[in-house]
């Protein structure tokens, strides 16, 4: 009892965790306070356990132990050609692999068909009834689906001893469990070998098909590269200039040509002055003939044809000198022709005037040829500059085409190797050395059911009820924010607790009767519901349980 006194200041929450040892008396007191509330989960769990134990059918488990990927020893060189090497790894990966092989529709369908589940009259009746409500599926297909669904839940894959893998089959009949495990082992072996062969053969076919495709691709790449190289070569020949030195030479040559043109023009001016002095202002006769035109054109061809030879310095080798000789000879022939035409001109020209007129006509023809040469030089220079500017693109294109050819050849080589190794792998897989799923332990007839017995069921239920009770007490004591102790009350109110009044035995607890006794009502309700369930199950809606025959128990 606390003594009255001055008001206390609000203190820290009294439920702060402390390192005090557990007070067992206090613990039992707290548990006792909950009373029937703690009895309720126990009764409920035991009722559920009783109902479960009553209706539970004993389940038998047959186990098949296998080992995976025990390859024969092969040399390191041979190992790449041995299929199935990827299976090796962590046990979990192996289990996942086998589980994936077993728990798939096609495998379970094959197993169901092998054991005749697709013709099971019970399944067929269920399937027939189900397919009446839906379209697009036959009773046989539906029965297979039902069988696959049943098998799916019966089979489990787990880690066995060491690196072995255990395949467990659970069934209500021990014989069926054993037989099903055996069939699964056989089917697994066959499926594994078949899958390996299919993979290897598919690999060979794939590599052959790809080789054909890649051969065509190599041919196309080589054609493209060859075409490009030829066009480039052709372009180099026609362009004339092939280096920076030749460009400089061409430019020098162009400047000298322009100087020659300028000199020739000034000489033509002085010759015209001379003509006007000699002729007394008469018009110069037209010195034209077919021969002169032909010689003029020939002179132009020689001048333009000698351009590249002059640039590349071929004149030093004799070819240039030959061209120069032809030009000189053509000019002389032109002069002779113009002189003849001047003598034959009307009006009777003096010898000096004839000579001047022939000289002017020759200069004009030479001027035209020099201008043609100059144009040719300008064109050559322009082409070279343009070619230099487009050169990087050509290099990149060339590199790309070469890379295409290289990669296509490399892929073709790889595919040819693959074709060759697929043959080796197929031979290996079909040999006794190939990867095998080996059965280490064949399934035996299970003698004892693997499911929980009645006692174990009750024990589990009781343990579960205790856990629920612990959760209830924890929630009630720790999570509910209510006043629990004198110290907490003083802290929350900031006042002294001047008295503690215990319960009056002769007075009811606060709240209504139902509120104070709800756990008892709940217990009675649980018991009633359980009893009703048993009564209905046993007498009102009895159903034969074919999975619970006496001989199975024996």
Partner 1 sequence: MPVLFAKQETQDLLEGFQIDAPYVTEVRRLLQSLWRQQGTAKLEKQVYMVTSAAREEGKSTTCALMAVVTARVFRRKTLLIDGDLRRPTVHSLLRLARGPGLREILQGTMPIREATRATALPLLSVITRGDSNSPASEAYTDEAFAQLIAHSRANYDFVFVDAAPVVPVIEPILMAEHVDSILVVAMAGKTPVTAVRRSMQILAPVIPKIAGVVLNNAMNGLPYYYDYRYYGYKERRPRTTVRPDAPAAKEEGAPTSDREPEGER
Distance of closest approach, residue 10 Cβ to partner 1, in angstroms: 9
Contact mark string toward partner 1, 286..325, x via CB under 8 A = ----------------------------------------
Distance CA(382)–CA(252), nearest Å, equals: 15
Neighbours of 484 (CB within 10 A): 13
Please tell me whether residue 503 binds partner 1 under the rule CB under 8 A: yes
Nearer to partner 1, 10 or 288 (CB): 10
The residues in 160-179 that bind partner 1, with binding defined as CB under 8 A, are none
Nearer to partner 1, 3 or 238 (CB): 3
Distance CA(523)–CA(502), nearest Å, equals: 28
SS3 257: helix
Residue 63 CB burial class (10 angstroms; 0-12, 13-18, ≥19) = buried
Own/partner pairs, 149-153, CB within 8 angstroms, 24+ separation = 150/117, 151/108, 151/111, 151/112, 151/117, 151/180, 152/103, 152/108
**Cβ atoms of residues 143 and 127 within 8 Å:** yes
Please tell me whether residue 12 binds partner 1 under the rule CB under 8 A: no
Q: Which stretch binds partner 1 (CB under 8 A): 33-41, 282-290, 438-446, 545-553?
A: 33-41
Nearer to partner 1, 4 or 55 (CB): 4
Contact mark string toward partner 1, 423..462, x via CB under 8 A = ----------------------------------------
CA 12 to chain centre: 61
Distance CA(404)–CA(218), nearest Å, equals: 8
Total binding residues toward partner 1, as defined by CB under 8 A: 45
Distance CA(393)–CA(235), nearest Å, equals: 15
Please tell me whether residue 504 binds partner 1 under the rule CB under 8 A: yes
Binding partner 1 (rule: CB under 8 A), the pick from 21, 510, 542, 544 is 510
Please tell me whether residue 508 binds partner 1 under the rule CB under 8 A: yes
Please tell me whether residue 506 binds partner 1 under the rule CB under 8 A: yes
CB contact set of 437 (below 8 Å; sequence gap of 6+)? 66, 67, 68, 69, 98, 188, 189, 192
The residues in 35-64 that bind partner 1, with binding defined as CB under 8 A, are 35-36, 39
Contact mark string toward partner 1, 457..486, x via CB under 8 A = ------------------------xxxxxx
Nearer to partner 1, 7 or 119 (CB): 7
The residues in 13-32 that bind partner 1, with binding defined as CB under 8 A, are 25-26, 28-29
Distance of closest approach, residue 25 Cβ to partner 1, in angstroms: 6
Distance CA(386)–CA(149), nearest Å, equals: 77
Distance of closest approach, residue 27 Cβ to partner 1, in angstroms: 9
Distance of closest approach, residue 552 Cβ to partner 1, in angstroms: 41
Q: Which stretch binds partner 1 (CB under 8 A): 111-119, 241-249, 349-357, 493-501?
A: 493-501
Distance of closest approach, residue 483 Cβ to partner 1, in angstroms: 5
Distance of closest approach, residue 66 Cβ to partner 1, in angstroms: 55
Distance CA(311)–CA(245), nearest Å, equals: 9
**Using the 8-state DSSP alphabet, how is residue 119 labeled?**
G
Please tell me whether residue 520 binds partner 1 under the rule CB under 8 A: yes
**Cβ atoms of residues 331 and 362 within 8 Å:** yes
Q: How many residues does the chain have?
A: 554
Nearer to partner 1, 385 or 524 (CB): 524
Distance CA(341)–CA(444), nearest Å, equals: 130
Please tell me whether residue 490 binds partner 1 under the rule CB under 8 A: yes
Alpha helices, H only, 284-390: 290-311, 319-343, 351-389
Distance of closest approach, residue 440 Cβ to partner 1, in angstroms: 56
- DSSP per residue, 336-367: HHHHHHHHTSTT---HHHHHHHHHHHHHHHHH
* Run of H or E residues at 60: strand 60-68
Distance of closest approach, residue 510 Cβ to partner 1, in angstroms: 4
What are the residues binding partner 1 (CB under 8 A)? 1, 3-5, 7, 25-26, 28-29, 33, 35-36, 39, 481-486, 489-490, 492-511, 517, 520, 523-524
């Amino acid at each position: 009892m606390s003594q009255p006194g001055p008001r206390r200041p609000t203190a820290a929450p009294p439920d702060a965790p402390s390192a005090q040892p557990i007070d067992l008396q206090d613990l039992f007191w707290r548990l006792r306070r909950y009373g029937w509330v703690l009895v309720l989960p126990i009764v409920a769990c035991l009722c559920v356990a009783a109902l479960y134990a009553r209706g539970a059918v004993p389940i038998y488990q047959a186990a098949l132990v296998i080992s995976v990927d025990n390859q024969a020893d092969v040399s390191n060189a041979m190992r790449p050609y041995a299929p199935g090497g990827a299976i090796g790894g962590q046990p979990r990966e192996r289990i996942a692999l086998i589980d994936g092989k077993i728990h798939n529709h096609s495998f379970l369908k094959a197993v169901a068909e092998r054991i005749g589940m697709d013709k099971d009259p019970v399944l067929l009746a269920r399937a027939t009834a189900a397919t009446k409500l839906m379209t697009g599926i036959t009773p046989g297909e539906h029965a297979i689906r039902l069988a696959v669904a049943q098998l799916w839940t019966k089979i489990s894959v787990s880690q066995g001893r060491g690196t072995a893998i255990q395949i467990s089959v659970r069934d209500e009949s021990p014989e069926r469990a054993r037989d099903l495990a055996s069939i699964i082992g056989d089917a697994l072996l066959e499926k594994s070998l078949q899958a390996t062969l299919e993979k290897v053969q598919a690999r060979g076919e794939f590599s052959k098909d790809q080789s054909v495709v890649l051969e065509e691709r190599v041919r196309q790449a080589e054609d493209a590269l060859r075409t490009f190289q030829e066009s480039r070569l052709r372009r180099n020949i026609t362009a004339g200039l092939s280096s920076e030195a030749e460009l400089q030479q061409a430019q020098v040559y162009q400047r000298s040509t322009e100087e020659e043109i300028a000199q020739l023009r000034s000489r033509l001016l002085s010759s015209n002055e001379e003509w006007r002095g000699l002729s007394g202002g008469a018009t110069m006769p037209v010195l034209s003939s077919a021969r002169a035109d032909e010689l003029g054109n020939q002179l132009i061809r020689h001048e333009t044809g000698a351009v590249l030879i002059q640039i590349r310095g071929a004149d030093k080798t004799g070819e240039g000198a030959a061209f120069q000789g032809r030009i000189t000879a053509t000019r002389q022939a032109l002069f002779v022709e113009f002189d003849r035409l001047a003598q034959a001109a009307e009006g009777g020209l003096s010898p000096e005037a004839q000579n001047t007129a022939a000289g002017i006509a020759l200069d004009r023809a030479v001027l035209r040829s020099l201008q043609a040469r100059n144009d040719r030089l300008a064109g050559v220079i322009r082409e070279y500059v343009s070619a230099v500017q487009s050169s990087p693109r050509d290099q990149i294109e060339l590199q790309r085409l070469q890379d295409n050819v290289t990669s296509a050849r490399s892929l073709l080589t790889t595919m040819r190797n693959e074709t060759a190794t697929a043959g080796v792998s197929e031979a290996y897989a079909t040999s006794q050395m190939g990867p095998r799923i080996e059965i280490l332990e064949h399934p035996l007839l299970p003698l004892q059911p693997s499911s929980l017995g009645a006692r174990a069921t009750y024990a589990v239920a009781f343990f579960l009820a205790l856990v629920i009770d612990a959760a209830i007490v924890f929630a009630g004591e720790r999570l509910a924010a209510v006043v629990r102790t004198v110290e907490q009350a003083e802290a929350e109110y900031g006042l002294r607790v001047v008295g503690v009044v215990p319960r009056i035995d002769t007075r009811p607890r606060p709240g209504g009767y139902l509120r104070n006794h709800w756990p008892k009502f709940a217990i009675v309700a649980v018991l009633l519901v359980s009893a009703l369930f048993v009564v209905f199950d046993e007498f009102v809606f009895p159903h034969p349980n074919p999975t619970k025959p006496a001989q199975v128990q024996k």
